[in-house]
Structures are given as structure tokens and as C-alpha cells.
Amino acid sequence: MANKIDRVPVREQEPKVRATNFEEVCYGYNAEEALLEASRCLGCKNPRCVAACPVGIDIPGFIAEVYAGNFEGAYNVISKDSSLPAVCGRVCPQETQCEGSCILGIKGQSVSIGKLERFVADTHREGKKRKADSVESGATPKNSNGIKVAVIGSGPAGLACASDLAKLGYSVTIFESLHRPGGVLTYGIPEFRLPKKKVVEQEIGDLLQMGIKIETNVFVGRSVTIDELMDKEGFKAVFVGTGAGLPMFLNIAGENLNGVFSANEYLTRNNLMQAFEESSDTPIFRAKRVCVVGGGNVAMDAARTALRLGAEVTVVYRRSEKEMPARVEEVHHAKEEGVNFCMLTNPVEIIGNEQGWVKAIKCVKMELGEPDEGGRRRPVAVPGSEFEIPTDAVIVSLGTMINSLIADTTPGIATDKKGRLQTDAVCATSKAGVFAGGDVVTGAATVILAMGEGRKAAKAIDDYLNKR
């Protein structure tokens, strides 16, 4: 079915318009565009795209269904391996995974697999016309075996694990410390990249209809411990998918000034607590000028959120653009919207005014030296190159760590030096019956990797419980 047409471009909101609102940037394909894009796939016998997908979706299989106009059939193919296709179609780093390996990409443009996945998932959802607020939990699974399994954390790892366990007939309860489920999908990634009511809540709603229960506002380690869940509440196995949500800081002078945020706090307050609204109980400080320190996806999200709140935004990053860990698409979108980039620059001090508010950030210029252990060239400060960038707020986005609460309150569970839970090849921890996956094991990674781990753990939990 292949021909030589170029990749079908996707429609997006105009940069100047979208920089002033929180609506989704990308409109996605319509049916006509999806059919045309699907016609580009060669349907390879040994598809490189599938080998590069962390959950092994049958990509040529679903694209063939799209090409045949059988969109629901395409959805069925995807949902065999992915429990959150509308989410993954939007936020997966396809350029380094399936699309990065697509054979068409060698001499031209790869198939737009992510946008097709998104089209299929959106078409399925719109066809069902379910109410946006349909997140309810607790229906009894049809094939229930009555065995209770606890899942701690409702991010992609926990949701994927819970969904596979529910399909196998287990009675699954997810315990979530926040008041809304979804993990980073809900509190981290902003609305303009991943709509909450339209996409996240609907996909979680689909999972809950499989009979999974969710108990929110339960902070495991404080409200209840893993031992109590297993010894007193009858859970036969536990999956820990608590993520890596503890922010890292610069550890420089001035970091305690008013107007300094971690990206985690800034995004959570906006996404989860609607702090951008003046009527919010805890409205966020609307700075005129904002400096965001860091070069990852989280930094891009914080910068583009600050822009939408009316600030002039500068991203300060200590390496060059080539080394930025953020997705190319996110950097491109940020630039189009008017975010400024100050590369090869490292903050050394945050300077405050007499009232204790940020007024500038002092930086040094950097140059790239020898590669570090990870292969990226190490940034080295240029002597005597200090300069100041006037700013009213600083958002620190240097990555995240693991909260030690689970490890501290669960005797017998082993961690590595960075506090990540240690697991074997099938996601089992050192404590019998306790499994783990996602960012709490790998450190900050991606949605699809977390989902892959959750699915692997579900299979291992099933094997473990069958052997007992």
C-alpha cells in the first residue's frame, strides 16, 4: 500500500494564539489525513518500528486497519499492548523509538506513527461519547478470582500493571497519595500537551470500568504501610509504582528567595490546583520575567506554562541545544511560541531585592569539554564570564529523585545508592510478594517505559501467585 508521498503534516494552533491559552497545541489528524498517512506504511515483514516500541505494539497491523478504514479494529490491535493509547500517541518520544527506527526514515520521512495512534484512540473515545466526568471505580470484574493485589501509585506504571492484573481476574486496588489519579499525566504534563478531561480522565475511566478500585488521598508509608496491606488487609501481592517526584535543586546562594520554584511545584500547582486562575485558593505568583533552569521536557513544560501566564521566559541551560534532553518537538514548539534560550550558561547565584524577592540570576558562560560517563560533553565554566539576567522568578528544573518513604517504612526492601528500588529481571523486589516498576526503579524516564515495566510486573505477579 506504499507510495512516495511526504509525511502528512499535522494541524496545530497558531504559535502566537496558543502562547496565550492552555488549549491543546496539536489538533491531530482527521480521517482523510490519517488514511493518507497510513497509505505510506510499507507493512514490513520484519518491522523495525515494532522492535523499537517498548511495549511491542503491532504497528503495521494497526496501520493496515486504519488504511482499510476500520478504525475500531485498529484500536483493538493497539489496546492489546497499550492501556493508554491516546496518552502515548501524544507524549511518547516516537522520534527516538518507533518512528526513529521506521525504514522510511532512512532515506526520507518516517511514518507518523504517534499521530496515527492518537487518531485511532481519539476516534474510539469520541465514538463512545462517554461523559467527561465518568471516572468511577469498583465494578466487579467479570472473571474475578477474588485474589487481592495492591498497586501503589496511579501513574502509567501503576495503571498498566493494574489493568493487566484486572484482565487476569485479580481484585485490584490502587492507592494514590494525591486527590486525583494519573501521576505525572495529571499533575506534571500540562493541559496544552495532554488534555485532562478529554484524554487522561477518559483513558483512566476505561481502566476503572474493568473493575479496578482507586483509593485517592492514601499516602502509603504514612496512612498505611505495605506490611499492613499484606498482613492485615489481605493483599497477596503489591506493586510499587510511586515514581520519582522529589525535585533536585541547584544548591546555590539565593535559592530560598521568594519567586524561586521547583518545576515540580510550579506545574503541580497549575495542573492539579488550577493556580493560574485568580479565583484559586492558592493562586500562583504571576511574574513578568521568568528564568527556567534546565533543558529537559519538564523545563520546556514549565517555560511554556510561564509564557501562557503572561511572562517573558528565558531557558538557561549549561550545555548546547544538541545535548538538550527535551524532545525536539517540544523545543521547537517553545521557540515558535517565543521562549528565549540562553545556552552554555550556568547559574551561580540568585540575587534578591530588599524585600526578599528574586531580582536577577547571576550566571557564568560554559564551554563543552571532554565527554562524561554518559557520553555527553562535560560543560566547563569560562573564567571571568559572570553576568546577570534580570528576572522576577526562577523555576528550577534539574530532574527528580525518589522519595525514600516506601523504603524507610518497608523492612526488607532493598534500594541502590540513589534510593531507587532494586528489582530483578521480572520486577520483583528483595521483599517476597512486593514488585516495583516505572520511575521508582529506573529513575525519571518515560511514560511508555513505565507502562512496559508495569505490564512486566503484572505477568510476574500472576506467576508468583499461581505458584503459591
Ligand X SMILES: Cc1cc2nc3c(=O)[nH]c(=O)nc-3n(C[C@H](O)[C@H](O)[C@H](O)COP(=O)(O)OP(=O)(O)OC[C@H]3O[C@@H](n4cnc5c(N)ncnc54)[C@H](O)[C@@H]3O)c2cc1C
Q: What is the rounded CA–CA span in Å between residue 441 and residue 62?
A: 31
| Look-up of cell digits 504571576 | 286
State the DSSP string of 180-239: SS-THHHHTS-TTTS-IIIIIHHHHHHHHTTT-EEE-S--BTTTB-HHHHHHTS--SEEE
Strand, coil or helix: what is 407? helix
Binding mask 46-75 for ligand SF4 (x = CB under 6 A): -xxx---------xx---------------
Instruction: Let me know: does 434 contact 150? Beta carbons within 8 Å.
Output: no
By a kind-dependent CB cut-off of 5 to 8 A, residue 48 interacts, out of ligand SF4, ligand X, none, with ligand SF4
By a kind-dependent CB cut-off of 5 to 8 A, residue 219 interacts, out of ligand SF4, ligand X, none, with ligand X
How would you classify residue 98: left for phi > 0, otherwise alpha for psi between -120 and 50, otherwise beta? Answer: alpha
- Which of 7, 12, 36, 44 is close enough to bind ligand SF4 by CB under 6 A? 44
Binding mask 49-68 for ligand X (x = CB under 6 A): --------------------
Instruction: Let me know: does 402 contact 246? Beta carbons within 8 Å.
Output: yes
Site size for ligand SF4, by CB under 6 A?
14
Can residue 379 be called a binding residue for ligand X (CB under 6 A)? no
Q: What is the rounded CA–CA span in Å between residue 351 and residue 253?
A: 8
By a kind-dependent CB cut-off of 5 to 8 A, residue 211 interacts, out of ligand SF4, ligand X, none, with none
By a kind-dependent CB cut-off of 5 to 8 A, residue 301 interacts, out of ligand X, ligand SF4, none, with ligand X
- Which of 44, 198, 215, 219 is close enough to bind ligand X by CB under 6 A? 219
Can residue 184 be called a binding residue for ligand X (CB under 6 A)? yes
Per the structure block, which three cell numbers stand in for 352? 534578591
Residue (49 or 91) nearer to ligand SF4, CB = 49
Residue 310: how many other CB atoms lie within 10 Å: 13
Tell me the residue ranges of DSSP E strands in 226-338: 237-240, 246-247, 260-262, 289-293, 312-316
Site size for ligand X, by CB under 6 A?
42
Residue in 24, 341, 319 with CA at minimum distance from that of residue 199: 24
- How far separated are the first and last CA of the chain, in Å rounded? 50
- Which of 50, 116, 152, 257 is close enough to bind ligand X by CB under 6 A? 152
Residue 343: how many other CB atoms lie within 10 Å: 17
Residue 7 CB, nearest approach to ligand SF4 (Å): 11
Binding mask 275-314 for ligand X (x = CB under 6 A): ----------------------xx--x-------------
Distance of CA 13 to the CA centre of its chain: 22
Per the structure block, which three cell numbers stand in for 294? 534546565
Instruction: Let me know: does 59 contact 80? Beta carbons within 8 Å.
Output: no
Residue 317: how many other CB atoms lie within 10 Å: 25
Binding mask 154-193 for ligand SF4 (x = CB under 6 A): ----------------------------------------
Eight-class DSSP state of 95: G
- Which of 246, 342, 445, 465 is close enough to bind ligand X by CB under 6 A? 445
Applying the rule CB under 6 A, the residues between 102 and 161 that interact with ligand SF4 are 102-104, 111, 113
Residue (97 or 123) nearer to ligand X, CB = 97
Let me know the angle formed at the C-alpha of 185 by 17 and 441, rounded to the nearest 5 degrees: 140
Q: What is the rounded CA–CA span in Å between residue 210 and residue 109?
A: 39
By a kind-dependent CB cut-off of 5 to 8 A, residue 111 interacts, out of ligand X, ligand SF4, none, with ligand SF4
Can residue 271 be called a binding residue for ligand X (CB under 6 A)? no
The number of CA neighbours under 13 Å toward the Cβ of 95 is 8
Piece in contact with ligand X (CB under 6 A), picked from 21-29, 180-188, 370-378, 423-431: 180-188
Per the structure block, which three cell numbers stand in for 210? 474493568
Piece in contact with ligand X (CB under 6 A), picked from 30-38, 195-203, 217-225, 419-427: 217-225
Residue 432: how many other CB atoms lie within 10 Å: 11
Residue 3 CB, nearest approach to ligand SF4 (Å): 12
Applying the rule CB under 6 A, the residues between 230 and 249 that interact with ligand X are 241-243, 245
| Look-up of cell digits 506490611 | 227
By a kind-dependent CB cut-off of 5 to 8 A, residue 389 interacts, out of ligand X, ligand SF4, none, with none
- Which of 42, 272, 348, 405 is close enough to bind ligand SF4 by CB under 6 A? 42
By a kind-dependent CB cut-off of 5 to 8 A, residue 94 interacts, out of ligand SF4, ligand X, none, with none
Residues in contact with ligand SF4 by the rule CB under 6 A:
41-44, 47-49, 59-60, 102-104, 111, 113
Residues in contact with ligand X by the rule CB under 6 A:
91-93, 152-158, 175-178, 183-184, 188-189, 218-221, 241-243, 245, 267, 297-298, 301, 403, 405-406, 438-440, 444-448, 450
